[in-house]
Chains A and B, each alone.
Chain A
Amino acid sequence: MSTRTVMVYRRFERLWHWTQMSCILVLLFTGFAIRGLHRLIDFDTAVTWHTGAALVLLGVWLFAVFWLFTTGEWRHYLPTTQGLGKVIRYYAYGIFQGESHPYHKALLRKHNPLQAMAYGVLKLVLFPAIWVSGIIYLLYGLWQGLALGQGWLGGVAFVHVAAAYAILAFVIIHIYLLTTGHSLREHLMPMVTGWDQVDLTTEEEAYLLKDEPGRIR
């Protein structure tokens, strides 16, 4: 067992992450304008940017889903209870005592158990909720004649907005957690350069050195 610098977030994943981040920020800002929570931009500008950003993100997502399943990367998000208690205890207590984070990145587990679970919920509940409601909303012109005056659009908007508030809460926590640990930079750079410290088994290290020498330093 040794700790090596390994390419954990490959180019596509980084591109996906940052595109997604930009889109989500635009979507939150314009979405709350459409909802009427602020009037910093015109309604039509808000709708145009909201729809445009949604379409970009939808495209990115189609690639991401394909990538996750063809590369097997989806396994990183499988929920596990192994070590979960330790991570929860760390954020609730240990962090104030100056303890070190109990989790170390592994080659097949680049997220800690709590992180994996949070991302899993985001990807399996919140994102689908906002996507499905958003696409139904976008296609309003096709179905609106089916239920005139029945308040369906209000219902769709309800789900969409509820998911948006939850995603905003996620974003806040997500950004905050970057400040924990050694430094902001330490958390941020892996998603910029792709390289991070990973605990490797002897077999993994041997495999990387022999078959994927570009992924290990």
Chain B
Amino acid sequence: MNARSAPPGAARLAIPILSTLLGCLLWLTPELGGAEEPPLDSDMHFRIVADLAPTERASDSTADHTKFKELQGPFQSGPEVTQACLACHTEAGKHFMKSLHWTWEFTHPQTGQKLGKKTLINTFCTNARGNEGMCAQCHAGYGWKDDSFDFTDETKIDCLVCHDRTGTYYKTPNSPGNQSCSVMFEGKPPIPWEKVAQSVGLPGRENCGACHFYGGGGDGVKHGDLDSSLKRPSRSLDVHMAIDGLNFACTKCHVSTRHLVAGSRYAVKAHDLGGTGKPGERRDVATCESCHGEQPHPAGSIAGIKLNDHVHRIACQTCHIPTIARGGVATMVDWDWRTAGKTKDGQGYKEKNYTQGNGEHVATYKSIKGSFAYDENFAPHYGWFDGQMRYTTIDTVFDPGAGAVAINAYRGAADDPGSRIWPFKRMHTIQPYDKGNNTLVYMHLWGEDDDAFWGTYDFGRAIAAGMAQYGIPYSGEYGFVETESYWPITHMVAPKEGALACDSCHQQESRLKGIEGVYVPGRDRDGWLDTLGLAAVGLTLLGVLLHALLRLFGRKPGAHA
């Protein structure tokens, strides 16, 4: 595939513009457009939550919030509820404003790279920056649609998105966006503010899942190990969160202190040597070891002892998450932006040519995004991982001819005690880049203006506007570059009977094919030793056979042999 094909010429650039204009005409006079055609599938929903009921979560709280007079209302908006929360939880706002859920900023302690959704480029919708009107509906705050948002205003914190336990709270984009997009948020029932304010509690899986299950633009799209099937998972899907088992909420492992939640993807603890800690000792990590210790397998058998010998080199996830996206929800593995912008009768549309495990049809093409491929229940990619990623950010210059650009290159090595062999979901994308400067680009996707790609379908204008907004140099010429991203897999832990068998790695067709720096019995042989050894055994047999034949045919009658 030629991943870096030339951008459309000027003539082709005109087509989307014309078709958009035509679309507007048709919008105004719908009876003229496609009367004989089947109804066009044009809504661009990215998050359809069919199961609204909250998950069960036992509360041992000493406070019943329905009895608090401060929460009786009436409330007209979220910020009003937040002020009521902060009246009692006086320090919560200050704590929360330091969390990633609020700042969307992360300076990596080792690489010094400035990360976080506020700045990063990804391999999905490519950038939240400049598109906050849409993307920041997953910001735990109210009203971030552009740079005027006040990150010091406590009343803009959205307590309810994490703490509502009724299942009736929801968020919509912070700005209306293009007409064709904003329709998807119409017709929602009003939020019963008093009821949700009085029903707060510790987050359930659906609270975290409201955003984390839908990253990348839809259910299961981004991670492969996080999707809506984890709201009510079976034991075989996730032994910890199973509704017929332990029924853990996310926060059981992702412990928090002062609203800072353990388990960062930007700085993963790939090899936790702290184990369970001393009794009563605070654990600020979400690692397997923090509960299971460093010798997690029962040492009562040879196999158990041998499995414990693996722990230093193999992440628990590698064996205990046998495949990605097992819950019936597919994850996206390939995204091609080059095809984005096609319209039918001037309208954006989508094609749903993939039917995932749970029977739902998911889009394989969307005018606003391009073409997609999915996979589910598949073996991950494996590699040595020390927990640290190197990101290709907006200012990273790369060589577009040197193969796929790793948006986040994972690091790790066999000789590093902090590294282990980890599973990843690999995402492959073809996305726009600045052909003149060899950098990635910010696209202006969401907006009410004519530069927004979602509405105008013009890459040139969307990129120019996206870059200009932040004063980032843009050559004026864009192309498409092949990129890849790696998503460490850590959820959907199968029960032990569902873990990988030894043979999965210990054989010629090993899952760990290509992993270097470690001897894997059954996978690795010294070519000549085994050839020589087998030859020696073969020659011995041959020698013995010849000796026997000589005895049989050479001996004198009646003599000993």
Contact = CB atoms under 8 A, between A and B. Distances in A.
B529 interface: yes
Given A96-B555, A144-B312, A151 B519 contact: yes
Contacts of B533: 161-162, 164-165
A74 interface: no
B352 to A, nearest CB: 42
Interface string B486-510: 0000000000000001110011100
Contact of B306 (A47, A97, A158): A47
Nearest to B311: A141
B153 interface: no
Contacts of A140: 309
Contacts, number: 125
Interface stretch (B46-54, B72-80, B277-285, B410-418): B410-418
Interface string B531-548: 011101100110010011
B518 interface: yes
B521 interface: yes
B554 interface: yes
B496 to A, nearest CB: 13
Interface stretch (B11-19, B196-204, B297-305, B355-363): B297-305
B8 interface: no
Given A43-B522, A141-B309, A145-B417, A95 B551 contact: yes
A181 B521 contact: no
B150 interface: no
A157 B555 contact: no
A98 B521 contact: no
B415 A148 contact: yes
B519 A47 contact: no
A162 B532 CA distance: 9
Interface in A13-47: 33-37, 39, 42-44, 47
A52 interface: yes
Contacts of A97: 554-556, 559
Given A149-B518, A172-B537, A179 B548 contact: yes
A1 interface: no
Nearest to B384: A149
Contacts of B541: 172
A162 B529 CA distance: 7
B523 A36 contact: yes
Nearest to B508: A36
Nearest to A37: B530
A121 B143 CA distance: 83
Contact of A34 (B522, B529, B547): B522
Interface in B397-446: 413-417
Interface of A: 33-37, 39, 42-44, 47-48, 51-52, 91, 95-101, 140-141, 144-145, 148-151, 153-154, 157-158, 161-162, 164-166, 168-169, 172-173, 176, 179-182
Interface of B: 301-303, 305-306, 308-309, 312-313, 413-417, 501-503, 506-508, 517-519, 521-526, 529-530, 532-534, 536-537, 540-541, 544, 547-548, 550-551, 554-556, 558-561
